[in-house]
C-alpha cells in the first residue's frame, strides 16, 4: 500500500514538474516570436498582443489541467481501491 502511495506521489510530482517546464518553454517561445514580429511590423502590435495573451492562456490552461489530474491522483486515488479490498 505504501509503495503505491509513494509511486503516486512521484508521478504527481513528475506531472507538475514536467508540465511547468513545458509551459514555461512554450510561453517563452511565443513571447520571443511576438517580440520578433512586433519589431518587424510595429503597426500590428495590438493584434499580435491579443493573440499572444490568448496563446499564453491556452498554454497555461493545459498546465493547470495537468495539475488538476495530479491532484486527483494524489487525493482521490483510483489505484488504491483494488488494494484495499
Q: Which residue among the candidates 11, 60, 69, 73 is catalytic per the annotation?
A: 60
Catalytic-residue membership of 52: no
Residue 75 CB burial class (10 angstroms; 0-12, 13-18, ≥19): exposed
Q: How far apart are CA 31 and CA 49, in angstroms?
A: 10
Residues labelled catalytic: 60
Amino acid at each position: 500500500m505504501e509503495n503505491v502511495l509513494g509511486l503516486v506521489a512521484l508521478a504527481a510530482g513528475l506531472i507538475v514538474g514536467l508540465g511547468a517546464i513545458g509551459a514555461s518553454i512554450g510561453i517563452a517561445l511565443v513571447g520571443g516570436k511576438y517580440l520578433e514580429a512586433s519589431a518587424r511590423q510595429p503597426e500590428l502590435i495590438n493584434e499580435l498582443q491579443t493573440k499572444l495573451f490568448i496563446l499564453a492562456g491556452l498554454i497555461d490552461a493545459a498546465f493547470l489541467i495537468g495539475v488538476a489530474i495530479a491532484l486527483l491522483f494524489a487525493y482521490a486515488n483510483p489505484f488504491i481501491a483494488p488494494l484495499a479490498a
